């Protein structure tokens, strides 16, 4: 074993989520959060919320968003979301809302355009969803049911635009 992977909360305390094996992958159970954080998708249960991959995504999105110079227009943001969704049809890997929204942020950031990435929760039953919003706070290419989600984490937004 090479060591432990840790996540830090705002107070700086870490939580061990698993042991790293020789190949750098988690050798032990990451964390059985199924009782605490069930995730429902369009086709039933998507599995567990895995904290380590979400942490990597948020770090990548924070880095990407910090390099954006101007907000994307609603038309630019919609075109990016639809392009990512089209490309996802050809991916052999899992491509759900988390991957689609992160890819949209990265695609727009390649043109130095920003949107706000949102990760939210809806109650009864508890559901998680990720989406992007334009500068005015409107969800991009999302069904009206997205308004039922309360953003728990947002990255990007107008406060990060640089001249």
Residue-wise pLDDT for 44-96, tens only, equals 344 444 456 888 899 999 999 988 889 999 999 999 999 999 999 999 988 99
> What is the tens place of the pLDDT at every residue in 94-135?
899 999 999 999 999 999 999 999 999 999 899 999 999 999
- The domain in which residue 107 lies consists of 39-160
Q: What is the pLDDT of residue 157?
A: 75
Same domain flag for 6 and 69:
no
Are 57 and 7 found together in one domain? Answer: no
Has this prediction a pTM greater than 0.75?
no
Residue 71 C-alpha from the chain's centroid: 19
Contacts with 46 (C-beta within 8 Å, 6 or more apart), sequence order: 39, 40, 96
Inter-residue contact 156 to 67 (CB < 8 Å): no
| Judgement on whether residues 126 and 95 belong to the same structural domain of the protein | yes
Domain identity same for 72 and 5:
no
Q: Does 84 lie in the same domain as 8?
A: no
The count of structural domains within the chain is 2
pLDDT at 54: 83
Which of 65 and 4 is assigned the larger pLDDT? 65
User: Are 87 and 124 members of one domain?
Assistant: yes
3-class DSSP state for residue 100?
Answer: helix
If asked whether residues 96 and 129 sit together in one domain, one would say: yes
């Amino acid at each position: 074993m090479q060591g432990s992977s840790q996540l830090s909360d705002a107070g700086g305390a870490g939580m061990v989520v698993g042991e790293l094996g020789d190949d750098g992958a988690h050798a032990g159970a990451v964390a059985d959060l199924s009782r605490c954080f069930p995730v429902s998708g369009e086709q039933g249960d998507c599995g567990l919320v895995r904290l380590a991959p979400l942490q990597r995504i948020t770090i990548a999105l924070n880095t990407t968003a910090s390099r954006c110079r101007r907000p994307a227009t609603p038309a630019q943001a919609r075109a990016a979301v639809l392009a990512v969704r089209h490309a996802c049809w050809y991916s052999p890997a899992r491509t759900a809302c988390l991957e689609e929204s992160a890819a949209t942020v990265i695609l727009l950031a390649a043109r130095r355009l920003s949107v706000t990435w949102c990760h939210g929760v809806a109650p009864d039953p508890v559901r998680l969803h990720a989406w992007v919003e334009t500068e005015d706070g409107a969800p991009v290419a999302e069904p009206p049911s997205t308004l039922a989600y309360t953003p728990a984490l947002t990255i990007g937004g107008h406060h990060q635009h640089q001249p």
